[in-house]
Amino acid sequence: MSRTSIVLVIGLVALFNYLTRVADGTGIEADYETGLPEFVYRGVTESDRRPEPAKWPPVDHSIELLSLLPDVHAAWCRWRDYLLGSSSPLSDVTRGQLQMIAARNACDGAMDPPEAADPGSAALSDFAEKLSRTPWLMTSSDVDALRSIGMDDVSILHVIAVVAYQSAESRLRIGLSALARCQD
């Protein structure tokens, strides 16, 4: 398989990771027929235990191999700028807090910790932890918990998008970092 094909597969996995978290966080249900069986949670599905940080895979801060797919790289950067830029209704600190939780759950040690926590951070942390670690368990009560601390729907959608984005970017960086080590 070519290096470009491997980068494409890593990118698709990251994008699927993003889309499933947005769907689970917002409660979007498929509105089309599929040959796949419907996922039914039976109370036994658990996410894998996270290894200790010392055992996390080495991850660098760049995603330079994504440049093998220039249009994908440009779109990824535009999406990152939109979600993490000044147009977001979330503060820089809140976005940093959400990113850190999602990165930690992906075993991505390349994220710098946020400077401080925002008020209401317990509800945000709980939401981000659940969405990044066990998205299939999300319910409307999770969104209601954010509403109870005064968040409107646009802000909640940004919370979901930031957690989903960081989960995807962490997986992208982990995969591309592993590919770079294999190619050296």
Predicted pLDDT of residue 117: 60
Question: Does residue 100 lie in a domain region?
Answer: yes
Question: Does residue 48 lie in a domain region?
Answer: no
Question: Does residue 44 lie in a domain region?
Answer: no
Q: Domain of 20?
A: 3-27+54-183
Low-confidence ranges of the chain (pLDDT < 50): none
Longest dimension (CA), the chain: 51
Predicted pLDDT of residue 119: 57
Number of domains in the chain: 1
Q: What is the pTM of this model?
A: 0.85
Predicted pLDDT of residue 104: 87
Kindly report the CATH number assigned to the domain that includes residue 119. Answer: 1.20.1290
Predicted pLDDT of residue 47: 66
